[in-house]
Amino acid sequence: MPRAIGANCRLLTLPETTYGTAPGSNWRRMPFLSCDLGAEQPLLDADVIGVGSNRDPAAPFLDTVTVQGQAVVPVDLVNIGHWLRLLLGAPTTTGTNPNFIHTFGSGAAALPSNSVEIGYPDVPNFDVCTGVRADTLEIDISPSGPATATFGLMGQGSLRGGASSGGTPTSAAYTAFNKAQGSITRAGSALAQVTGARMTYSNGMEMVRTIRADRRIEGVDPGVARCTGQVTVRFENTTLLAQAQNGSAAEFAFAYTIDANRSLTVTLHEVYLALAKTPIEGPAGVEASFNFRAAFNATATRMMTVALRNQQAAVDYA
């Protein structure tokens, strides 16, 4: 009997019309690097005395079901838009083929949910997680390597079966971004001497636990959105140091660009920097790491804007 191996596993997803109810149409097959989304139901000890004739414990009992985990996915030209829709809501789309511009914004009052199926065809076993919402996004930017993104996910329920619920899955052409295509700007100008950066966005999701016969949560509600991160630069000038000392804000943009019609740009409209040391750690170059926090910007009417340029029509991310 074959054993499950990651190379044969599949990840399918599709938006839900009704929260917590898996859609019945053909799902989308998504590329991914790893995924640990699934249901957990811990056993709790029953501290009851006098059940047996000695000090041995009574039988444990099952607690509430929790469905959460992370999906590490490649930052690619088409599929990343479906993950961004789950994180930020449906975009506003402008432009014409082949240069559609899908604009996602932070802080939406309501966020969508997806059903996600993790398939182990070797067994076979298929885990359908419903009511899945995206809580966090983590992106690491460095000079080389593949571009990846990590999405933190929370769901309502999970059901395993011996057959897939995805119907005949559809898939998009795969065009990956890589870190060598990355760039960072500050106030519209290229930020020089950057050796690395990372960004974490959070929807501040909260699991709503109520008394239910199925032991599932009631849902996942968004809270205050936050975006934090760090930029590490070679100490060449005092531009970032002066901004941190003055407590002033500037717009930062992190981008991956293939050409004029294919790019992904994350813009933080109002970024504040924490004051950083410039340690000397030997004869090599001096680096400074500035932690940052983004805030709501009145002119942009949001904290963060993500613009995805590709050939997909608006209906693909509706």
Strands 226-234 and 194-202 come out as antiparallel
**Token pair recorded at residue 10:** 């599949």
**Token pair recorded at residue 160:** 């395993």
CA distance 232 to 250: 16
pLDDT tens by residue, the chain, 318 residues: 678 899 999 999 999 999 999 998 899 999 999 999 999 999 999 989 888 888 899 999 999 899 999 999 999 999 999 999 999 999 999 999 999 999 999 999 999 999 999 999 999 999 999 999 999 999 999 999 999 999 999 999 999 999 999 999 999 999 999 999 999 999 999 998 999 999 999 999 999 998 888 888 999 999 999 999 999 999 988 999 999 999 999 999 999 999 999 999 999 999 999 999 888 888 888 899 999 999 999 999 999 999 999 999 999 999
CA distance 85 to 317: 7
What pLDDT is attached to residue 52? 82
What pLDDT is attached to residue 1? 60
Residue whose pair of structure tokens reads 């790019």 in the numeric block:
263
First to last CA, the chain: 42
**Token pair recorded at residue 49:** 């005395």
CA distance 220 to 134: 10
What pLDDT is attached to residue 16? 97
| C-beta atoms surrounding 276 within 10 Å | 19
Q: In the chain, how many H helices and how many E strands?
A: 2, 23
Q: Where are the domains of the chain?
A: 6-41+60-317
Question: Do residues 149 and 72 touch, judged by C-beta distance below 8 A?
Answer: yes
Polymer length of the chain = 318
Question: Among residues 84, 89, 100, 97, which one has the least CA distance to residue 30?
Answer: 84
